Amino acid sequence: MYAIPQSMTAARKPATETASGGVGKPGDKPLILIVEDETDLREMLADSLEQTGYGVLQADSVTTARQQLEQTPPDVVLLDWMLPDTTGLSWLRQLRRTEAYRELPVIMLTARGEVNDRVAGLDGGADDYLIKPFSLKELHARIRAQLRKQQGDGEREQYAAGDLVLDSGMHRVTCAGQEVELGPTEFRLLRYFLSHPDRVYTRSQLLDAVWGQQVFIEERTVDVHIRRLRKALEAHGKDVLIQTVRGAGYRFSLRSN
């Protein structure tokens, strides 16, 4: 049984405070799916989110979560790593292979705080990774950050560099009409590069922009995903667009070095 620390408890919020931080319209609620098998923790999280103005769905297993997802698609998923029927990470990888859920924001909630665990979670498709015990204020802030990302993604769906095209809405990358197979992190990395061409970014800047400022992993993780992105683009002759700027970082450009 997971003991809920004092840091994860919160006083009841005023009824007028909403998920957006202001006074919202009735029924205008982002929907959060909590997938957590510890009943006390799940209900405490649900109560806190509902007080803040979110709609909440609850699941104590991946089986139940699948049903919830099909019936009422949420805006954000809070996903425990260790679940009774399968691991949250295994299910997350399945979601990322399903077109309808490739862009669904998922925040992993887990006691597994080692660097390798965080890297595995993020590589598996998690948008954020929160280690238990955590503060509810921090959880709410990270949910708001994911919702802002969703709103921002909707402003522009397609990016192109020559015949290389990334479609955010379809979660698809093509080159001269041929599909480019990318993992979720490489997809986000390429999208960021395409939206900011010809600019040099340090590893630290890329971590903040693509992985999020609240995610603490080593900068060398960027190098790993740059290599994976280049390998995926190499078959289409586009790996040269991801350029290493010695002593500075990386740049995406149609121009040669």
* 113 and 70 housed in the same domain: yes
* 37 and 76 housed in the same domain: yes
Whether residue 118 is contained in a domain is answered as yes
* 225 and 136 housed in the same domain: no
* 92 and 60 housed in the same domain: yes
Whether residue 56 is contained in a domain is answered as yes
Q: How far is CA 232 from CA 151, 165, 179, 190, in A?
A: 28, 14, 10, 11
Whether residue 257 is contained in a domain is answered as no
- Return the structure tokens found at 75: 């805006």
Mean pLDDT, all residues of the chain: 83
Whether residue 36 is contained in a domain is answered as yes
> Is residue 75 within 8 Å of residue 105, measured between CB atoms?
yes
Task: Choose between 97 and 4: higher pLDDT.
Answer: 97
Say what the pLDDT of residue 85 is: 92
Compute the distance between CA of residue 141 and CA of residue 208 in angstroms, rounded to an integer. 15
Q: Is the pLDDT of residue 233 over 60?
A: yes
Q: Is the pLDDT of residue 8 over 70?
A: no
Say what the pLDDT of residue 152 is: 56
* 94 and 199 housed in the same domain: no
Say what the pLDDT of residue 26 is: 35
* 116 and 191 housed in the same domain: no
Whether residue 1 is contained in a domain is answered as no
Whether residue 221 is contained in a domain is answered as yes
Say what the pLDDT of residue 55 is: 92
- Return the structure tokens found at 40: 């006390």
Q: Is the pLDDT of residue 251 over 90?
A: yes
Q: Is the pLDDT of residue 166 over 90?
A: yes
pLDDT in tens, 15-66: 334 454 433 333 458 899 999 999 999 999 999 999 999 999 999 999 999 9
Q: Is the pLDDT of residue 239 over 80?
A: yes
Domain end call among 135, 153, 171: 153
Domain end call among 90, 118, 153: 153
Q: Is the pLDDT of residue 11 over 70?
A: no
Burial class (CB in 10 A: 0-12, 13-18, 19+), 237: exposed
* 96 and 146 housed in the same domain: yes
* 108 and 137 housed in the same domain: yes
* 127 and 246 housed in the same domain: no
Q: Domain with 43 in it: what CATH number? A: 3.40.50.2300
* 241 and 224 housed in the same domain: yes
Range of the domain at 213: 158-252
Question: Domains in the chain: how many in total?
Answer: 2
* 147 and 163 housed in the same domain: no
Q: Domain with 172 in it: what CATH number? A: 1.10.10.10
Domain end call among 88, 120, 153: 153
Say what the pLDDT of residue 150 is: 72
Closest CA to 127 of 78, 65, 181, 55: 78
Mean pLDDT of 151-160: 67
Q: What is the DSSP string of the chain?
A: -----GGG--PPPPTT--TTSSPPPTT---EEEEE-S-HHHHHHHHHHHHHHT-EEEEESSHHHHHHHHHHS--SEEEEES--SSS-HHHHHHHHHTSGGGTT--EEEEES--SHHHHHHHHHTT-SEEEESS--HHHHHHHHHHHHHHHHHHTT--EEEETTEEEETTTTEEEETTEE----HHHHHHHHHHHHSTT-EE-HHHHIIIII-TT----THHHHHHHHHHHHHHHTTT-GGGEEEETTTEEEE-SS--
Whether residue 180 is contained in a domain is answered as yes
pLDDT in tens, 89-118: 999 999 888 877 888 899 999 888 788 888
* 63 and 139 housed in the same domain: yes
